C-alpha cells in the first residue's frame, strides 16, 4: 500500500505525489513484484530505500525541467505487510 500527499500550499504537490507513487510502483513491479513475499528483510529494506531515492530524483528532475514546479514536494508512506510483520517506508 502506498499513500502520498503533496505538500500543501506549494505549487506542484499533486504532480510530486504522482511522480513518487508511479516511480515506486513501477520499480516494485519491475524488480520485486514476484518475490516481495519471500525477500529477506534486509533486501526488502535496501530495495525500498533505493526506490524512494529514485522517486526523489524523479521529482527533482521534473522540478528542474519545469520552473513552475521548482518547489514541489510530497510526503509518501509505503507499507508492506508480510504475515505478522509490517515494513514501513516514509519520506
Question: Mean pLDDT across the chain, nearest whole number?
Answer: 95
Say whether pLDDT at 8 is over 90: no
How many whole angstroms separate alpha carbon 58 and alpha carbon 69? 13
Answer left, alpha or beta for residue 84, where phi above 0 means left and psi between -120 and 50 means alpha.
alpha
Q: What is the pLDDT of residues 68-90, one digit of tens each?
A: 999 999 999 999 998 899 999 99
> What is the pTM assigned to this prediction?
0.93
For residues 31-44, average pLDDT: 94
Amino acid at each position: 500500500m502506498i499513500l502520498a500527499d503533496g505538500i500543501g500550499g506549494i505549487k506542484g504537490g499533486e504532480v510530486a505525489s504522482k511522480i513518487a507513487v508511479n516511480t515506486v510502483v513501477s520499480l516494485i513491479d519491475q524488480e520485486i513484484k514476484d518475490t516481495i513475499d519471500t525477500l529477506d528483510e534486509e533486501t526488502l529494506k535496501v530495495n525500498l530505500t533505493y526506490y524512494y531515492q529514485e522517486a526523489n530524483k524523479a521529482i527533482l528532475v521534473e522540478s528542474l525541467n519545469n520552473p513552475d514546479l521548482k518547489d514541489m514536494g510530497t510526503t509518501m508512506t509505503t507499507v508492506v505487510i508480510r504475515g505478522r510483520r509490517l515494513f514501513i517506508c516514509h519520506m
